């Protein structure tokens, strides 16, 4: 049975924190993080179920009684029970995806606080730009797992080649030379993120060992001044 929680999903952190403190020692085989994730999932499914109930109730209210046969209280209760069973079956088949949206929002909002989501440090890259430098940035979502960043028309105020920086600590998993001055790099980071770089320019002397955040990966070609950086989520 799911315990009663706040009517606002953004305020449910107090409920989870209370539950978590009541049983600080998790059961054997179940970690504290697993327990919190399970509570997040239960709460998100609870709010989706409530939304579906209200939606069905609203749909019922738009249908007026014919008046030929008077509906008694027992029939109304029976109809509400049938609607409730319909909602239960609907959610068991996957619902409408609302619970996933709520779950992901709670993970983003409260994940770090409850230790179920690793804190991601501010990236020290992928470009070493000054406040006076000019550039055009275009972003797009490739899919649910990644984010694309395209830096174009990069012009350094001092006229020097712009350095490409390692955003977070990690190591190279791919290094492909596409042409004499064109490269594709892939780096795995310790924060469950993977970076992919595509650019024209010069490549630094890189090893497969750990590369510190902010280290030089190379420099952009003045003729191109374009960098494509894709950030992927990895397990």
The residue extents of the domains of the chain are 9-110, 134-233
Task: Give CA–CA dist 172/185, Å, rounded.
Answer: 7
pTM check: above 0.75: no
- For residue 186, give the nearest of 135, 146, 141 by alpha carbon: 146
Question: Helices H, strands E: what count in the chain?
Answer: 4, 8
Q: Which tokens go with 218?
A: 């190379």
User: Is pLDDT above 50 for 88?
Assistant: yes
Could you read off the pLDDT of 7-55 as tens digits, one per residue? 455 455 555 555 554 444 555 567 877 888 888 888 888 888 888 888 8
CATH code given to domain 134-233: 2.70.70.10
Phi-psi region of 154 (alpha: psi -120 to 50; beta: other; left: phi over 0): beta
Asked if 222 contacts 162 with a C-beta cutoff of 8 angstroms, the reply is no
Could you read off the pLDDT of 191-222 as tens digits, one per residue? 788 999 999 999 998 876 788 999 999 999 88
pLDDT of residue 47: 85
Task: Give CA–CA dist 192/234, Å, rounded.
Answer: 5
Calculate the alpha carbon distances from 159 to 31, 133, 227 in Å. 54, 10, 17
Task: Give CA–CA dist 119/83, Å, rounded.
Answer: 42
Task: Give CA–CA dist 151/229, Å, rounded.
Answer: 8
- Residue 203 makes CB contacts below 8 A (sequence gap 6+) with 175, 177, 183, 217, 218
């Amino acid at each position: 049975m799911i315990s009663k929680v706040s009517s606002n999903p953004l305020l449910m952190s107090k409920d989870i924190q209370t539950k978590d403190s009541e049983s600080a020692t998790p059961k054997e085989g179940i970690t504290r993080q697993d327990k919190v994730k399970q509570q997040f999932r239960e709460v998100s499914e609870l709010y989706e179920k409530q939304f579906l109930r209200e939606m069905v109730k609203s749909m019922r209210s738009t249908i007026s009684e014919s008046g030929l046969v008077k509906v008694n209280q027992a029939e109304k209760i029976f109809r509400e029970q049938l609607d409730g069973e319909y909602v239960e079956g609907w959610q068991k088949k996957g619902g409408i995806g609302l619970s996933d949206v709520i779950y992901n929002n709670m993970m983003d909002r409260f994940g770090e606080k409850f230790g179920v989501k690793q804190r991601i440090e501010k990236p020290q890259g992928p470009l070493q730009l000054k406040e006076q430098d000019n550039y055009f940035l275009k972003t797009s979502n490739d899919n649910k797992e990644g984010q694309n960043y395209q830096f174009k028309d990069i012009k350094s105020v001092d006229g020097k080649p712009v350095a490409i920086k390692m955003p977070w600590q990690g190591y190279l998993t791919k290094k492909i030379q596409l042409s004499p001055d064109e490269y594709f790099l892939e780096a795995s980071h310790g924060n469950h993120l993977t970076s992919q770089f595509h650019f024209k320019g010069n490549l630094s002397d890189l090893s497969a060992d750990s590369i510190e955040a902010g280290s030089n990966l190379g420099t952009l070609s003045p003729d191109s001044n374009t960098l494509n950086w894709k950030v992927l989520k990895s397990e």
